[in-house]
Amino acid sequence: MPDLNLFGESGFQNVSKTEVILDNTQKQKRDEIPVKSQKDKKKPKGEPKKSLTWESIIAFLLAVGIGASVVWYLRYRSDVKTTITELSIEEFHNTGSGSE
C-alpha cells in the first residue's frame, strides 16, 4: 500500500526500505566503534614502517631514472642537426648534379 509522505523528499520514496537502511547504518556505526578502538590500541608509536622506506627508495630511483632519460633524450636530440638549407633555383643549378 502506498506510504508516500508529501512532507518528505519529492521523487522516489520507499519508506520501509529507508527505515531498514537507516537501522542498518546505525547498527553498523555501533559495530564500528570497538573495531576503531582496537586499531587505535595497536597503532605503533615512534619509527615509521620499513615498508614505507623501501617505497621511498623505489620512488626516488624511479624519479632519477625518468630524469636521466629526459636529459639523455634532450642531449641526443640536440646532437641531431635538423637545419635545412634552402637553395634558390640558380644556386641549385650551380651546385647541380652535373649531369646536364
List residues binding another protein (CB under 8 A): 1-8, 10-14
Biggest CA-to-CA distance, the chain: 102
Query: What nine digits make up the cell of 43?
Result: 597503532
Q: Which is nearer to another protein, 17 or 41 (CB)?
A: 17
Task: Phi first, then psi: give them for residue 81, nearest 5 degrees.
Answer: -85, 125
For another protein, the closer of residues 1 and 57 by Cβ is 1
The three-state secondary structure class of 1 is coil
Shortest approach of another protein to residue 4 CB, angstroms?
5
